[in-house]
Amino acid sequence: DTGVSQDPRHKITKRGQNVTFRCDPISEHNRLYWYRQTLGQGPEFLTYFQNEAQLEKSRLLSDRFSAERPKGSFSTLEIQRTEQGDSAMYLCASSGGRFYEQYFGPGTRLTVT
Amino acid sequence: GNSVTQMEGPVTLSEEAFLTINCTYTATGYPSLFWYVQYPGEGLQLLLKATKADDKGSNKGFEATYRKETTSFHLEKGSVQVSDSAVYFCALSDNAGKSTFGDGTTLTVKP
């Protein structure tokens, strides 16, 4: 296992369409995090899972955003009815350490036209 | 809520100069503190961490000390190289594992 992977790496979509991103964490890690990052800003926390349980989702940006981790392995982040303001880099990270150090994937860059 | 404030950039240094990037935090309880680095065209990667007061994290010549009394975790390196050019992020994780990141500081090192 070489690290956290994300798919796709780039997504261009038209406003109003739905998009889904996938994250595969490091296999032995039980925690998985989703962040959004815009230019010049640090990662903005969206949600996280411990195994299949979603521990925090209040930071999801609106009810158009949802995330799942059905079997405690990979996770998906869905954005419904995309808006131009959703254009950003979406980062996934996983953690298995006692002190929650995180290992990041390469990100999915979303462009909404 | 938790927050992290980083020294604003960009920072431009000559090779072999001393580097300090300031970071202060606000958190309840006893968070763990981290520095992450993002090299051009790459993803974020962990640089170093400290998990309790007075701990010093170190890696690749970089150091940072967890100062609870000043709620700070400043990043230092005695002699920077061109290859250190990157964006540096200070972050904390609380006891529940939720992370908060600073906005990043861009470092450019010139030969």
B4 and A42 within 8 Å at the Cβ level: the answer is yes
Task: Work out the average pLDDT over A20-31.
Answer: 94
Backbone angles phi, psi at A26, to 5 degrees: -65, 135
Nearest CA in chain B to A104: B44
The predicted structure's pLDDT at residue B101: 94
Query: For chain A, what is the mean pLDDT?
Result: 91
A99 and B89 within 8 Å at the Cβ level: the answer is no
A105 and B49 within 8 Å at the Cβ level: the answer is no
Of A41, A55, A99, Cβ closest to residue B49: A99
The predicted structure's pLDDT at residue B8: 84
Query: For chain B, what is the mean pLDDT?
Result: 94
Helix spans in A38-99 (H): none
The predicted structure's pLDDT at residue A1: 53
Preceding amide of A43 cis, omega within 30: no
How distant is the Cα of A38 from the closest Cα of chain B, in angstroms? 10
How distant is the Cα of A42 from the closest Cα of chain B, in angstroms? 4
The predicted structure's pLDDT at residue A31: 92
pLDDT digits (tens, 9 = 90+) for A5-16: 999 999 999 999
Scanning the structure block, which residue is given the tokens 């960009």?
B10
A43 and B44 within 8 Å at the Cβ level: the answer is yes
The predicted structure's pLDDT at residue B94: 86
The predicted structure's pLDDT at residue B30: 87
Percent over 70 (pLDDT), chain A: 99
How distant is the Cα of B105 from the closest Cα of chain A, in angstroms? 9
Tell me: pLDDT of B83 over 70: yes
pLDDT digits (tens, 9 = 90+) for A39-77: 888 999 999 999 999 888 777 778 899 999 988 899 999
B contact set with A (CB within 8 A): 4, 32, 34, 36, 42-46, 49, 51, 89, 91, 93, 96-104
Q: What 3-state DSSP class applies to B3?
A: strand
CA–CA dist A35, B28 (Å, integer): 22
B98 and A48 within 8 Å at the Cβ level: the answer is yes
Report CA-CA distances (Å) from A26 to A75, A97, B5.
12, 12, 29
Of B4, B32, B43, Cβ closest to residue A100: B32
pLDDT digits (tens, 9 = 90+) for B5-43: 998 889 999 999 999 999 999 998 889 999 999 998 888
Cβ atoms of A45 and B106 closer than 8 Å: no
The predicted structure's pLDDT at residue A2: 75
A57-71, B60-74, B83-97: which range is least confident on average? A57-71
Report CA-CA distances (Å) from A94 to A100, A104, B12.
9, 7, 32
The predicted structure's pLDDT at residue A103: 92
- For chains A and B, CB pairs below 8 A equal 61
Task: Work out the average pLDDT over A70-86.
Answer: 94
CA–CA dist A61, A54 (Å, integer): 15
The predicted structure's pLDDT at residue A97: 74
How distant is the Cα of A91 from the closest Cα of chain B, in angstroms? 9
